[in-house]
Chain A
Amino acid sequence: MEFFVDPSRCIGCQACAQACAECDSHRGISMIHLDFVDRSSSPQTTPTVCMHCDDPTCARVCPADAIKQTAEGVVQSALKPRCVGCSNCVLACPFGVPRYIPALDQMMKCDMCYDRTSAGLKPMCATVCPSGALYYGSRETIVQMRREQPTNTFVFGRRVVTTKVSLMVSANTSALEVDIASFLPSPEDPSAGNNPQQVAA
C-alpha cells in the first residue's frame, strides 16, 4: 500500500484538512495543508502531505533529535518533549511540509497517520478525498486507473530526493526537476520568485 498525490485532481474542498484535524493525537490542528498554487491567477489548490523522504532532510537538520523515521520509511512529526521550535526543519524541507505552530511552540507535520497506516488502515485524508487527489492503495491499481504515472524522484539543483509518497505526473516523466533559480527573485523581475516553474525532465 502506497500513498499517491495528484494535485491536478484537487478541488480545494478542505475535506482532507478537516479529517486530519479530527484525529485524537492532534485534535483541532491539521497536519495536512491545502495550498493555492498561484492564488492571483487560479483557484487551483494542492494538498501538501509529507513526502516521507528516504533520507529526510528535516531529521538531518534537527538539532534536538526530535524527528525520527520508522522502519517503514514514515518520517514522524516532531517528538513533543524534544522539539525546541527552532524551525530548522521548516526552512530545510524542500517540499515545504513542516509547519511551526506558535501556540504550541512545536513543529507539526504529517506522519501519514502512523497510528492508522501501521495497523493497515488508510490515512484519514485519503479516506475522505472525494476527487482522488489523495489516494492510498497499491501501485498496480493506480497505474491502471489513471493516465498520469507516479514518480517519487525529485531533483532540486544538485540534490536528488527520493520519497515514499509518489506524485502523479505525466506519463513520460521519470523525475520531477525543480529549477531552483526560478524561485529566486531577480533584480530584473522581482515577481519571478512568486511564479515558480516546474520543468519535467
Chain B
Amino acid sequence: MTNRTNPPPQSPGFPINWEDEHQVTRRTFVTFLLLLSTTFVASTGLIGLLNWLRRRQASQLAPLRIAQLQEIPIGGVTLFHYPTASDPCLLIHPSAEIFLAYSQKCTHLSCPVLYQAAERQFYCPCHAGRFAVEDGRPLSGPPKRPLPRIEIKVTGDEIWAVGVQA
C-alpha cells in the first residue's frame, strides 16, 4: 500500500458516537435548569400581568343596557353578553327587588351553566357543578372558583351592566 494522507474529514455538526449523544455535561444541565426556571418565572409573571390588565379593563367597561324591570318576572332569567359578545351572562330575578347577574361560563371548563330557580342554584350539566345563586360560590362538583359576578345598576326602570367582579 502506498503512503497517503487522508484529506481532512468533513466535520459533522453533531456527535457520531452514541455515548457523546447521551452525555449531558453539568454545564448543559445547569443551563437547562436555569432556562426552565426562567421560563416558569416569566410565564407566571406574564399570567399575573394579564390578570392585572384584565381587572384594570374590567373597571373601565362601558355600561350595557340589559333589560327593563318588567321584562323579567320573579324566578325569571335573561341571557345577555357582557363585556364582549363572546361573554354570555345570566341576569336572574330570584326575589322581589333583587336582581343578580353572573357569567354563564362554568369556572371548571367553561360550559354554560343553567339557572334552576326552584333549587336556588346554577347547575352545570357537563360535570354536575353547582353554584349558589346568592354569591356564585361553588357548592359541589369540580368547580373551585365562584362564577364571576356582573355588577348591575338599576336606572329608572332599566337594568344596566356596569362592570365585572372577577
Which A residues fall within an 8 A CB radius of B? 55-56, 59-62, 65, 67-71, 76, 153, 155, 158-160, 174-175, 177, 201
Residue contact B7 to A68, C-beta cutoff 8 Å: no
Q: Are A65 and B1 in contact (CB under 8 A)?
A: no
CB atoms of A60 and B1 under 8 A apart: no
Q: Which 3 A-B pairs rank lowest in CB-CB distance, beginning with the nearest?
A: A175-B1, A65-B14, A201-B1
| CB of B21 closer than 8 Å to a CB of A | yes
Chain B, interface residues (CB within 8 Å), range? 10 to 19
B156 to chain A: which residues have CB within 8 Å? none
Contact present for B18 and A60 (CB under 8 Å): no
A160 — which chain B residues lie within 8 A by C-beta?
A: 4, 6
Mark B residues whose CB is within 8 Å of A.
Answer: 1-2, 4-7, 9-10, 12-14, 16-19, 21
**B7 neighbours in A (Cβ, 8 Å):** 158-159
**Other 9 A-B pairs with CB < 8 A, given A155-B1, A174-B1, A177-B1:** A59-B12, A60-B16, A65-B12, A67-B16, A68-B16, A68-B18, A68-B21, A71-B19, A158-B7
Q: How far is the CB of B18 from chain A (nearest CB, A)?
A: 5
- Shortest distance between the CB of B20 and any CB in chain A (Å): 9
B-side binding surface: helix, strand, loop or mixed? loop
User: Can you show 6 pairs from A to B with CB atoms below 8 A apart?
Assistant: A59-B12, A60-B10, A65-B14, A71-B17, A71-B18, A158-B4
Q: In the complex the two chains form, is A56's CB within 8 Å of B2's CB? A: no
Residue from B1, B6, B10, B21 within 8 A of A158 (CB atoms): B6
Residues of B near A56 (CB, < 8 A) are: 16
**Which chain A positions have C-beta within 8 A of B14?**
65
- How far, in Å, is B40 (CB) from chain A's closest CB? 28
Chain A residues with Cβ below 8 Å from B6 are 158-160
Closest Cβ–Cβ distance, residue B29 to chain A (whole Å): 20
User: In the complex, A76→B21 CA distance in Å?
Assistant: 14
